[in-house]
Chains A and B, each alone.
Chain A
Amino acid sequence: DTAVSQTPKYLVTQMGNDKSIKCEQNLGHDTMYWYKQDSKKFLKIMFSYNNKELIINETVPNRFSPKSPDKAHLNLHINSLELGDSAVYFCASTDRGGGTEAFFGQGTRLTVV
């Protein structure tokens, strides 16, 4: 039973399109994140949500919009995709309070052509 699941695993799309990546966690965690991993493997935090409330919004283009319908789901919608958006996107979750490990989804490799 997968703890954090992301769909799709791979996504190839053309420039200018709009796409969504879905994430669900069944761990009962309060906090969920989106990370972007670029070609150099750098993991950059994009957003953090706690109980559906946006906590962290790092410098990310407005084309990226997270949506948290409930605390088990955090979806990422990307408008007007650009070549530079190509990366692996990871969803993760942690329990309330500090100290617990972050559980990651398997990642979504987005390729914009």
Chain B
Amino acid sequence: AQTVTQSQPEMSVQEAETVTLSCTYDTSESDYYLFWYKQPPSRQMILVIRQEAYKQQNATENRFSVNFQKAAKSFSLKISDSQLGDAAMYFCAYSGNTGNQFYFGTGTSLTVIP
């Protein structure tokens, strides 16, 4: 099984500030996909952003962007202009090329301070 590691169990950020959540992973595959999911208190899993390993360009979605370092096997999420609604658990996830695997990190709980 692939491993996905999130070393920050909890993070906090002031409203309107920027925060970066870390994720590293371990794989022997050359072609794979990485994701960040958000889980608010409602417990619904919501896709935040997606990155293809073969693409060098970092993915961005509005206030959310990633820093993908393939050689280092690192995939961090940057949230700019943090809003109260960003408060949630954030999970980093790995999917192999076959699509039969979908592994998650242990999650980072993000608190947004007004």
Contact = CB atoms under 8 A, between A and B. Distances in A.
Contact of A31 (B1, B99, B103): B99
B98 A98 contact: yes
Contact of B89 (A30, A33, A41): A41
Interface of A: 30-31, 33, 35, 40-45, 48, 50, 55-56, 58, 88, 90, 92, 94-102, 104, 106-107
A82 to B, nearest CB: 22
Nearest to B54: A99
A92 to B, nearest CB: 7
Nearest to B52: A99
Interface of B: 1, 31-33, 35, 39, 43-45, 47, 50, 52, 89, 91, 93, 95-104, 106-107, 109
A94 B102 contact: yes
A42 B93 CA distance: 12
B95 A98 contact: yes
B100 A56 contact: yes
Contacts of A56: 1, 100-101
Nearest to A49: B100
B98 A97 contact: yes
Nearest to A98: B97
Contacts of B50: 99, 101
A100 B33 CA distance: 8
Given A50-B100, A55-B100, A97-B98, A42 B106 contact: yes
A49 B65 CA distance: 32
18 contacts: A31-B99, A35-B104, A40-B106, A41-B89, A42-B107, A45-B1, A45-B101, A45-B103, A45-B104, A55-B100, A96-B99, A97-B97, A99-B50, A100-B95, A100-B99, A102-B102, A104-B44, A104-B45
